[in-house]
A and B are shown apart, each in its own frame.
Chain A
Amino acid sequence: MSRSLSDLHELQSLSSEERDELLGRLAEEFEFRIRRGECPLVAEYTERYPDLAADIESVFTTIVTLEGIKADDARDAEGRVSLAGGRVDQLGEYRVVREISRGGMGIVFEAEQVSLQRRVALKVLPRRMILQTEERDRFEREAQLAASLHHSNIVPVHGCGTDDGYQFYAMQLIDGTSLNELQEHELTSKRVAEIGVQVAGALHYAHKQGVMHRDIKPENLIEDQNGRIWITDFGLAADSTSVSDGGAGGTKKYMAPERATGLCKAPADVFSLGMTLQTLLSDLAEDSVSPDLTAVIDRAIDHNWQNRYQTAGELAEDLQRFLDHWPVKARKLSWFGRGLRLTRRNPALSVCLGLLFGLAWVMAILSHRNYLQSEQQKLQLFGKMSVVDALFQSNYPGRDKLSQLSEVKDSRSTQIADPTLDDHITMLRYLPDTKIDRLTDLSPDLIRAAIAARRDVGQAKKHLGRLTDARRALQYALQATDRWMFKCNTTSPFSPETTEAVLSAATLRNDLSAVLEEEMKLDEAEVLRNEALGLLDRIPLPKRNSTEYAEQLAEAHLGLGTFRPERVGLFGIWYQLDVAGHDFTIKETRETDHLDAALNVLQVSSLMHVPRIKTLIARTLVERIRWKRMLGTSWHHDDRRAEELMRELTLEFPRQANYRYVYSIVLANIRLPWDPITRTEYEIIRLRLERSLELVHSLTQNQPRRTDYIQTEVDVRHLLAELAIRCTVEGDTKLDFEVAVSMQGYLNESMTAGFSGHVRKSLLEWRFAEWLDFNEKHDQAETYRDYARQQFQLISSHDSSEPCVVAAREIIIDGTRTLTSLTERVAVGPEKTQQTE
């Protein structure tokens, strides 16, 4: 017995020794291969030695981590590469003369090509810069392709090669300045367009030859003495990940979003050029930039590549139209938009078009089984969904509606709803709804497309305030996703596809919750948010590395942590006004834990540079500030951070509507005190609110159908009116009230939000009436009181026990509760105010 035990022990210690020896040999080989520039797979070794798999994985991944650190350490503080002690005097037939510049990818030398005795620019990549063999092959292939390009705006590549472990390529030496160094130059709209025409023309030529640039940015465009623009580094950027990670600043900014999915076609270069032109324009005064040029650039940098110019040639052409003072195509309506405009003039035609649409879909449905052979063809069906995006583009007809509205001063005309919009949505209804069920059995690609299509429709309808439709669309998408998730989970629970399906199921729960929350179905929403958390918890650790995962986890927590004054009887910003005599002081709350959790997820330095994440952080901070005010803890730090985050984002991406929207919310997140305030405090609050109004107003101007934007404008105007009242300052109080009331009316008519809109509007009218009374306009005041009562009667009896309906009834109908009297004003100034009671 004891003998066998000791034998066993001996065997184990022996095998552990042997094991380490074997591991050591394998590790040396693995290391050697990495250092030689190969890209060995850990799996290669674990498959060879399955018994040692765990040990191999643990040792090798540590090696890989250490190697990765070293590669990075050879960069300097600005992220520029160095040759890590290596030195180049001669590479192939090129004799290095001097260093010209360093970037995130390589070092450019001036060199002499000995055989031809000519000066060239030699770009040298440090050793180990390209770790994967496929990447290296691609590098060489593309360098050869690039060498075949002959265009007057493309720096000619003479050749490329490898010597002494360095990859390098030689190109013509251009005497000029790259565009990122041009700042002091006096650029004009016209000059930027000219640059765009040259570059887009050259890109179009290259694309036709099958060469993508992949890394268009100001640094890669050189202006020579004659004003000619040269594109350098053609097709030579490494793939997206290495460029963005090692970037010496900002390359990611120029990279098309779809690149993240590996898609890199002509529209990706179009996007980068668009961003480059926008960067150049950003130095100009805003009013000196023509809206036509802005429209062209906006189209070039559309987030969705299908909405961009599909070729660089189209971009060049439209820029040329701008230069020639022709109307640009980017401002013209799409065929769909034109169709809508036609139907608006001719309702009968609308019916015909609708039928045609329906017919086309029926035919597509009937024939799809034998007709649609490839997945791609099937996907094209869903490509039509991009019309949804067209709804929200600034060139969509009807953008002037809201500007008309804000001119309405005395009338209560709110006949804003555009009938053609309904047609549009009816047409959308012909899209995949009827098809999803059958199609989901096909392939993951198709399932993804179908879910995405439904989700888009849901989001679109939510933004339009069609909450019931939005809910339906999202529920549909959710069902499809859950079926998909279930299927994946039973066949291969640990596959990437399952992870994707689970993430998608969580995402849709968050989307749907957001709609339910707007519908005030808070309990249902809470259930879904918790389900989303549960699903995300099922995603295996290694797969939690994605931005999407962090986003959805934070969204779920944010939803659960949102401050909801509605629960205690006040709507939206009313609690900010402190007018209903509510005592909101609370001692503790679970919600802030959720907000802290969301911030924990988001504030990881690898994520924090992502604009979407920054926006999410700001939104979370807004909620935390609201809670902290209730709890009486200090919130100023959060406020400063949120303001800073969004200010920077809106500066960096001045055309991104969502950033401006969130920024306006951050700015409007103040609480009007009844305590006396100083002139400075008053000015600060006023400036914040006016900036907020300016931001959100520009949004409602461009996208007059976005109910979320409009609601925010209503809120900000109400706050401004209230501020003026309290501080006895002459403001645009009357105008602000009127516009707010009339916009809220428009919202109520176009939204399906139910009682919440009615409560908001009747309270707003009630408050306006009080102000009118105070200003001795008793007739008008009485009229508005009537409006308020009528509005309140519209609330269905079904909702009569909602806390805020009860509160509103006490104020408007019963008169048992009053809003804080207008006479309790706060005079501005250092002195204490007289409060008349």
Chain B
Amino acid sequence: MLSPENTNTPNSQDAVSDSFENIFREERPRLWRLIRFRLNPGIRHHVDTEDILQDVFIEASRLYADYLNGNSLAPYLWLRQIALETLRDVHRTHMGTQQSATERESYSDLPPTDAASSPLVRLVAAVTTPSAVAIRQETKVIVDQALQRLNETDWEVIQLRQFEELTNSEVAEVLKISVTAASIRYVRALERLKDIVETLPDFRQD
């Protein structure tokens, strides 16, 4: 009854949008994390992570056909670019400046507390399983302070690997370095992070 054109065209479109939605659904948590951590704390009251994610979704679905036609980026990295651009726009609108969304910001928006002793030393020393990591605010504050003191290269790689949860090869692709170099860079950054934590004034050995 129906002509082949009539049945095929919507089907293939469905397939395209279907696969887009699948990709987006798959990458949604990582994108959420990216936006949450890179959104300037000063405007978190005005815009919600979920709203920005919605904008990213609309923009990405508009560009998806182009992406399929000519982009060699991995899907997440492509979505990530769109998310970063969307964030940049959001910051521009709300802050009236050209502030880059990638500008280094406090990872934690919790007010610093006076950490009387160092939970991290205990954690780092005693922890053997992830669940044994007591989720404590001081740890957060201390790690945040240490992150602020890292140099740009180290900070970036930790940001990508940890807070955006990119895989090593994705990091290599973003930074345009070899997989081995990315891996080594990450390990050294972690070691430096730990060294910095240990020199922080809050970190006491007794």
Contacts and interface: CB of A to CB of B under 8 A. Distances in A.
Interface in A64-90: 64-73, 84-87
Contacts of B29: 84-86, 127
A27 B162 CA distance: 11
Interface stretch (B8-16, B88-96, B188-196): B188-196
A69 B130 CA distance: 11
Given A85-B28, A85-B29, A605-B137, A66 B162 contact: yes
A135 B127 contact: no
A604 interface: yes
A42 B132 CA distance: 12
B174 interface: no
24 contacts: A21-B183, A24-B182, A28-B168, A32-B167, A35-B165, A43-B128, A55-B191, A58-B191, A61-B125, A62-B124, A63-B162, A67-B162, A68-B134, A69-B108, A72-B140, A73-B36, A84-B29, A86-B28, A87-B25, A127-B29, A132-B131, A543-B126, A603-B116, A605-B136
A24 B187 CA distance: 6
Interface residues of B, number: 57
Contact of B161 (A17, A31, A34, A246): A31
Contacts of B183: 20-21, 24-25, 27-28
Contact of A70 (B136, B163, B168, B187): B163
A267 to B, nearest CB: 26
A70 B162 contact: yes
Contacts, number: 153
A73 B136 CA distance: 10
Contact of B193 (A62, A72, A131): A62
Contacts of A72: 135, 140
Nearest to B171: A28
B122 A65 contact: no
From A24, A43, A603, name the one whose CB has the most chain B CB atoms within 10 angstroms: A24
A656 to B, nearest CB: 26
Contact of A42 (B121, B128, B136): B128
Given A24-B187, A70-B162, A65 B139 contact: yes
B101 interface: no
Contact of A62 (B130, B134, B168, B194): B194
B126 A64 contact: no
A84 B32 contact: yes
A84 to B, nearest CB: 6
B72 to A, nearest CB: 23
Interface string A212-242: 0000000000000000000000000000011
Interface residues of A, number: 55
B143 interface: yes
Given A20-B184, A86-B29, A605-B115, A68 B139 contact: yes
Contacts of B120: 65
B53 A65 contact: no
B187 A67 contact: no
A28 B116 contact: no
A63 B204 CA distance: 21
A791 B131 CA distance: 63
A542 B135 contact: no
A600 interface: yes
Nearest to A38: B130
Contacts of A24: 168, 180, 182-184, 186-187
Given A62-B194, A85-B28, A87-B25, A606 B130 contact: no
Contacts of A73: 36, 108, 140
B127 to A, nearest CB: 5
Given A84-B29, A241-B131, A606-B119, 19 more contacts: A20-B183, A25-B183, A27-B187, A39-B130, A55-B191, A64-B123, A70-B162, A71-B135, A73-B140, A84-B33, A85-B36, A127-B29, A131-B129, A241-B134, A246-B135, A541-B205, A606-B134, A606-B136, A606-B138
B123 A61 contact: yes
A61 B190 CA distance: 10
B191 to A, nearest CB: 6
A541 B122 CA distance: 8
Interface in B34-75: 36, 49-50, 53
Interface of B: 25, 28-33, 36, 49-50, 53, 108, 113, 115-117, 119-131, 133-140, 143, 158, 161-163, 165, 167-168, 180, 182-184, 186-188, 190-191, 193-194, 205
Contacts of A66: 143, 158, 162
B52 to A, nearest CB: 11
Interface of A: 17, 20-21, 23-25, 27-28, 31-32, 34-35, 39-43, 55, 58-59, 61-73, 84-87, 127, 131-132, 135, 241-242, 245-246, 541-545, 600, 603-606
A24 B168 CA distance: 9
Contacts of A241: 131, 134
Given A66-B143, A66-B162, A605-B115, A41 B129 contact: yes
A27 B36 CA distance: 25
B128 to A, nearest CB: 5
Nearest to B188: A20
Given A24-B168, A24-B186, A131-B131, A61 B138 contact: no
From A132, A545, A600, name the one whose CB has the most chain B CB atoms within 10 angstroms: A545
A585 B29 CA distance: 66
Given A28-B183, A69-B139, A542 B122 contact: yes
Contacts of B121: 541
A403 B187 CA distance: 72
Contacts of B131: 39, 131-132, 135, 241-242
From B28, B161, B186, name the one whose CB has the most chain A CB atoms within 10 angstroms: B186
Nearest to A46: B128
B199 to A, nearest CB: 14
B190 A27 contact: yes
A31 to B, nearest CB: 7
A799 B95 CA distance: 79
Contact of B184 (A21, A61, A62, A84): A21
B187 A59 contact: yes
